[in-house]
Structure 1
Amino acid sequence: MLLKKKKLGRAVVAAILSSCLLLSGCGGKTNPQPNSGATNDPNNAGNNGSTSNLEPYEINAYFLAPQCKDLPLVQEELNKLLKEKINATIKLNYFWWDSYYEKQQLAVSSGEKIDIMFSPSWWGFNDYVAKQAWLPLDDLLQQYGQDIIANIHPSYLKAPVVNGKLYAIPTAKDMYGTGGFIFNKALVEKYNFDINSITKPEDIEPWLEIIKQKEPDVIPFLSTKGDQQAYLVQDWHVNVGDVNVPVGYRKTDGDVKIINLLETDISQRIFKLSRSWYLKGYINKDVATLQDGTPIKKAGKVFAWTEQLKPGKAEELTAQYGYELVQADAWKGIEYYTTTPDLTNSQLVIPRTSKDPARAMMFINLLFKDKEIKNLLSWGIEGKHYKKVSENQIDFADGVNADNSGYYGIAQWAMGGNQFLDYLWISESPDKWQKMDEFNKIAKPMKILGWTYDSSNVKSEIAALATVGQNEVQPLSQGLVDYDTYYPKVKQSLEKAGIQRVIDDCQKSVDEFIKSQNK
């Protein structure tokens, strides 16, 4: 997912978070042993072994997922399985794009007892690590995560390592992403658009004009707070942390130079394209405030939007939204690279406030082995929300559809674990996971794959830059302002906030990493 470099990045409230972490004792050590002195044998607990020596425990978990009316029913079914396997129950907290970031920030800063959290690289993961909000997981992984180790590419477990310690368990899924477009298939066919002809983002502009003129009830291009900026530049460069902090590097085979991403040629190109599309009426007028485009997409009132693509992405979204969609890369003839953010854009962490980190790791471990648990989270209850049409493909249960399902629209990639365990929707290709495996082998690993930026030396600057990004940079992404006249003011704010110090500190970290790899 940044990449899912996502919508909604926010400024980290550094002072509040830091003080609350100190008040809640987050800087101290946490005992990795599960309650009741459970065995250290990873094959005993969480792997269908004995749970007789484990006391009952409720796991409090935060996921990026939509509110679903049948969530209590899914949770009840999940608890039946977890009681048997690891003598635990779970409280599922689901928050969607419009609220997850803030809910996470509040929960962590308040010192709430939390055992598992979705914490991708593009939503301040590094900053939370710098504030010691997340536990290091190396020992827990070795003791209670053997199914994780067995079912994930080793590169994943090198990616969320900061200062030699592992702080997250990534989702096993696509290992890189390409920026591109999702189109309403019915409209593509109605106007005979050739999506295979796209070589650059500008190529779809004549189509947007046709949709504007001939489909007045349809939004030609849907943007949630300017999210196309992240997707259309992701094939070219990488943000090193919070999406609102414009510090990163170009994708390359060579040495890595840390730069201000707002000044690259490709960033300027997409900023100016967004401005043009907004002025021409292709982009929705509420782009500055729209945080969740899901209802509009589900209603079929949009022609195109941007996503991070992979094999079968359109089919996944077809299952999510209930009508046929097709996909196309935004760029053709370019080199693809695997970067650390590609491997950390969907991952689960264990906060320091957890009262039983070992049990939390046992649950994450199950997501890499237990197909029943994984698909319960992804699709709901068999017979109620879905039915099997073959061994590994599913459809809506009888009498159920996208509009009336009580558990639907889940972003499976954000649920953690091994996505290759997920059932495939009837609209998806039966060989999707084989294609995904082949897709993962295309990209070249960058020289700094495995490097993660520790921003603890520049915490105040990061917070200040995030504020500038949220308040001053977003209008550029949204197409509301002209780059050439507006950016000089933004640059002054960035310089005042300390962007050069962050660039220098980040470059030093990169150089030290490269040096360590060459020893």
Structure 2
Amino acid sequence: MKAWRRNVIVLFAFFLFFTLTLTGCGGDNGSMNEAGGPSKGDSQSAMGQKSYKLKMVYPGSPQPDQAKVEEALNKILQPKINATIELMPIDWGQWDNKSNLMIASREKFDILFTAQWNGHAVNVSKGAFLPLNDDGLDKYGNLLKKYGQGVLDTLSPMFLEGAKINGKNYAVPTNKELAAQGGVIYRSDIAKELGLDMTRVKTIQDLEPILYAVKEKRPDMIPLFLRQGDTFNAHYFAQTDALGDATIPCVILKDQDSTKVVKTSELDRYKETLKMTRDYMKKGFINKDAATTSLGTGDALKAGNVFMIVSPLKPGKDAEMANGINLQGKLKQIEMTAKTVSTGETAGSMLGISTTSDDPVRAMMFINLLHTDKELNNLLNFGIEGVHYRKVSDNIIKATDATKNYSPGASWMFGNQFLNYIWDTEDPQKWDKFKEFNKDAKKSPGLGFTFNAEPVKTEVAALVNVGKEYDPALDTGSVDPEKTLPKYTEKLKAAGLDKIQAEKQKQLDAFLASKTQDRR
């Protein structure tokens, strides 16, 4: 009960002090010492041990100058925590398969990107991550408290509270925007060339004449690129709140007020979207390999033959993406859903420490530096100053001829995004707009609640496999939903969907009841 009450207090206080929190995070003064490193005692403790190579695994394309950036990172890390870093990006299209294999085979690595929409709770139930705020964790103790004080000082408590599973944090959230919104990002230069009026686009249906025009006038281009996870039924577009992990079926709708847990496959909006997507596929608007492609959306745009992608949006997402794929000034975004906040957003981008790590302390120290050390943070995200970018002012940077050699476009994954430089092609008020973006977002009725999958972990494992079999083809319009959806529904039910739905409802009702009691 105490844990529930703490959640409620944090939720109540969060929207009052979140702006102040972000303001405090916007500078470079959140570190534990002037250099932004761990405390003197922790640093000395690390220096007294053998140097350690950290392995960090995350989704993204390997960069041509990755080795050069690693060398520069190591020059910072060696004197601070007596460690070096090996960056291990995995292409988005291979991410799920390869990262899951690494977890299943107990491969040794230290830090792994994780998120509620990417199986975080499921992987926690598999023992993939260490609990970071557990006082009784073997010889390490409370890693966050002992070696992550900079995280605790700069990150809003809402992120950590919202990312907990059964009272424990198994990963550290990125300090970034909190609200979520779905929409599309498109090639504005192509739209101008073809005379397309994009201001009329408000819904999925409104896209049809636009996509038709692109198909007819630019047959060399794919009008709409879809891939598993980035479709009109993605959680950020469909506005579904999976209550902690988007890979576990049964949701509530975060843009509405009902707290009834429902089956995703029975939602009207889900069925209607499947039909529209199938229609677009049959009309040749969507890439034929949508269900199986290993290409990420950014790389698809970068290839030059894609007009539009589906994407989660935030202020300046178009400009941020354009800089990452060398399409500066050629991308625009269209917001097509309401702005919402759910527990899923607090856990939408995190770094966890693997239970196979040989040095969780050094891994926690590194994550802490990403939240506090401006030089390290920007080096990882943008590369080497004077090579991959040049400074226009303290916080504004411009591209160079070598920007293309190190441009991971992954700043939303690593540490404290409010330490990031801003490209000269972006809005200089970007971080202020992030704060405004959060202010009037609709709060999910399940905000603050995280489902504990332990009581139904067998059913969850079975249902995740069923989802992998059917979701990619259905969500991308690659199969006829009228024929395939009944089979999918039948398999979900046989795997234990009703049991998961009942357990989610039971836990959510208990959470909501505790909130009501605390208000009395």
Q: 1:223 matched to which residue of 2?
A: 226
- Alignment match, 1:420: 418
> Deviation of residue 329 (structure 1)?
1.0
Contact 1:393/1:424 (8 A) holds in 2: yes
The residue that corresponds to 1:303 in the other structure is: 307
Q: Where does residue 313 of structure 1 map in the other structure?
A: 317
Task: State the alpha-carbon separation in 1 of the partners of residues 475 and 118 from structure 2.
Answer: 17
Tell me if structure 2 keeps the 8 A contact 1:133–1:352.
Answer: yes
Q: Distance in 2 between matches of 1:151 and 1:278?
A: 45
Deviation at 1:147, TM superposition (A): 1.6
- Equivalent in the alignment of 1:31: none
Q: In the aligned structure 2, how far is the partner of 1:159 from the partner of 1:374?
A: 24
Query: For 1:131-156, what per-residue CA distance to the aligned partner results, in whole angstroms no more than 9, with x for missing partners?
Result: 33211112221222222122222210
Match status 1:326 vs 2:332: yes
Query: How far did 1:98 drift?
Result: 1.8
Q: Which has the higher helix share?
A: 2
1:441 aligns with 2:442: no
The whole-number CA distance in structure 1 between the counterparts of 2:150 and 2:472 is 41
The aligned length equals: 471
Matches within 5 A, 1:90-101: 90-101=85-96
State how far apart, in whole Å, the 1-side matches of 2:371 and 2:53 are. Answer: 20
Q: Which of 482, 485, 489 is the aligned partner of 1:484?
A: 482
Partner of 2:402: 400
- C-alpha contact (below 8 Å) 2:255/2:444 kept by paired residues: yes
Spell out the pairing of 1:39-78 with structure 2 (5 A cutoff).
46-47=37-38, 49=40, 51-54=43-46, 55=49, 56-78=51-73
The reply on whether 1:104 has 2:99 as its aligned counterpart is yes
Equivalent residue runs for 1:36-435 within 5 Å: 46-47=37-38, 49=40, 51-54=43-46, 55=49, 56-138=51-133, 139-225=142-228, 227-231=230-234, 234=237, 236-240=239-243, 243-252=246-255, 254-293=257-296, 294-323=298-327, 324-331=330-337, 334=338, 336-397=339-400, 399-400=401-402, 402=404, 405=405, 407-414=406-413, 416-435=414-433
**TM-fit CA distance, 1:354:** 2.2
Equivalent-residue separation in structure 1 for 2:112 and 2:424 (angstroms): 30
- Residue 253 of structure 1, CA deviation: 5.8
Whole-Å Cα distance in 2 between the matches of residues 255 and 223 of structure 1?
Answer: 30
Any gaps of 5 or more consecutive residues in structure 2?
1-31, 134-141
How much has 1:195 moved relative to structure 2? 2.8
Aligned-partner SS, 2:89: strand
Matches of 1:314 and 1:124, distance apart in 2? 26
Cα deviation for residue 223 of structure 1 reads 1.1
- Give deviations 1:39-74, integer Å, cap 9, x for gaps: xxx769933636333212222221222111221211
Aligned residues of 1:130 and 1:454 also touching (Cα < 8 A): no
Q: Is the 8 A contact 1:127 1:456 kept in 2?
A: no
Residue type of the alignment partner of 2:402: V
Q: What are the Cα deviations for residues 91-119 of structure 1, in whole angstroms up to 9, with x where unaligned?
A: 22111202222222222222233321111
- % identical equivalent positions: 37
| CA-CA distance at 1:126 after TM superposition | 0.4
Give me the whole-angstrom Cα distance separating, in 1, the residues matched to 2:356 and 2:403: 39
Deviation at 1:281, TM superposition (A): 0.7
CA distance in 2, matches of 1:167, 1:226: 23
Helix, strand or coil for the counterpart of 1:202?
Answer: coil
**Secondary structure at 2:93 match in 1:** coil
Shift of 1:515: 2.5
Distance 1:63 1:232, change over 3 A: closer
Q: Take 1:289 and 1:351, find their aligned partners in 2: how far apart are those partners?
A: 28
Question: 1:7 aligns to what?
Answer: none
SS at match of 1:438: helix
Of stretches 42-51 and 109-118 in structure 1, the one that deviates more from structure 2 is: 42-51
Distance 1:94 1:84, change over 3 A: same
With 287-296 and 229-238 compared, the bigger mean Cα shift is at 229-238
Structure 1 unaligned spans of 5+: 1-41
Letter in 2 for 1:65: G
SS at match of 1:283: coil
Q: CA 1:47–1:259 in 2, change beyond 3 Å: closer, same or farther? A: same
Contact in 2 for aligned 1:248/1:260 (Cα 8 Å): yes
Q: String of CA shifts for 1:369-399, please: whole Å, max 9, x gaps.
A: 11110011101111221211222122223x3
Q: Deviations over 1:3-23 (max 9, x none)?
A: xxxxxxxxxxxxxxxxxxxxx
Contact 1:160/1:452 (<8 A) preserved: yes
CA contact (8 A) 1:233 1:270 kept: no
**AA aligned opposite 2:313:** L
Identify which range, 126-135 or 340-349, moves more after superposition.
Answer: 126-135
- In structure 2, what residue type is equivalent to 1:498? G
Given that residues 120 and 345 in structure 1 are in contact (C-alpha distance below 8 angstroms), is that contact kept between their aligned partners in structure 2? yes
Contact 1:62 1:93 in 2 (8 A): yes
* Separation of aligned partners in 2, 1:108 and 1:488: 33
In structure 1, give the amino acid aligned to 2:282.
L
Give the Cα–Cα distance (whole angstroms) in 1 for the partners of residues 501 and 511 of structure 2: 15
- For residues 441 and 351 of structure 2, the distance between their equivalents in structure 1, rounded to whole angstroms, comes to 24
Q: TM-score, normalised by structure 2?
A: 0.86
Give the match's secondary structure for 1:201.
coil
- In the alignment, the residues of structure 1 paired with residue 229 and residue 170 of structure 2 have an alpha-carbon distance, to the nearest angstrom, of 30
Q: Flag the 1:359–1:400 CA change in 2: closer, same or farther, 3 A.
A: closer
Query: C-alpha offsets along residues 419-455 of structure 1, whole Å, 9 cap, x if unaligned?
Result: 1111112211111111111112121333432211111
Report the AA paired with residue 363 of structure 1.
F
